[in-house]
Amino acid sequence: MELAIETIDAWARGRQPGYLGSKRTFVEFLLSAHISGLAVSMLLYANERFWVIAFAAAMAISSKYLFQVAVPIPDCPPRLWSRRHYLNPSNFGITVTLVLFSWVGIAPPYQFTENVRGPFDVILPLIIVLSGSVLNTLFTERVPLILAWLAGFATQAIVRALVFGMPIAAGLAPMTGLAFVLFTFYMVTDPGTTPSKRKPQILFGFSVAALYGVLVTFHVVFGLFFALTLVTMARGLAMHVTAWRARAAAPALEVQSMTEAVR
């Protein structure tokens, strides 16, 4: 799917496909699709209907090409602006699958730790937390987003407990599951679809947590994935508005660029 869509998109835009070049270029190009396939297969449960997992992976990959926004470049005409996707691919694939197929669910919490006993009850989550912390500290630089997401999730759990008279532990319980840990360190922090600056990261993390609390209040299941999809959609809409405003203010620059090209 990744290779096919990239080939078509490159042909339509008159550019070289991103997978051409060295062997390393080819392998690195397919890493994103590999991650999406792993994510949807780990987090979705469709019994033995493997085509559903393939469908979710296809939705994840195609979303990168279907939902793109132009990124304005200072002193550059709109026709030369770069484009980027704004929906988290794996999360979008999972969301679409959950909406379309009511009999598909999320992997149960015990799926990852059913046969884990003794000290490994702590060691396994600790390995994932440590590796995720290193990844998001040294490479993605999304630690502020993670902290905001965790603080926001705990806050909404406490608020719901106080408002509806439920045990606080019930609202905080999802944070102890391995699926939540995977979502926190490897999905909500996707560097390609989240802000890079600190304050926008904090706002993004709090927004996902707050929207999750609203969805749970209205008894919407699978709130983690739906909340992230809605927040990334809202961010994408804001990026479209920014690009539209920049494009409306750039006709003079486009004319100047074309004139210089003619000269």
Residue type, position 57, single letter: A
Mean pLDDT score of the chain, rounded to an integer? 88
Average pLDDT over residues 129-148: 90
H or E segment and range at residue 108:
none
Average pLDDT over residues 17-21: 91
Q: Which of 219, 190, 175 is nearest to 92 (CA)?
A: 190
Q: Which residue has the higher pLDDT, 125 or 194?
A: 194
* Phi/psi at 71 (5° precision): -105, 110
Q: What is d(CA 228, CA 222) in angstroms, rounded to the nearest whole number? A: 11
Average pLDDT over residues 62-78: 84
Please give the pLDDT value at position 256: 54
Looking at 43-57, 113-127, 189-203, 235-249, which range is the least confident one? 113-127
pTM value?
0.86
**Whether pLDDT at 23 is above 60:** yes
Q: Which residue has the higher pLDDT, 50 or 112?
A: 50
Find all residues with CB under 8 Å of 251, minimum gap 6, and list them: none
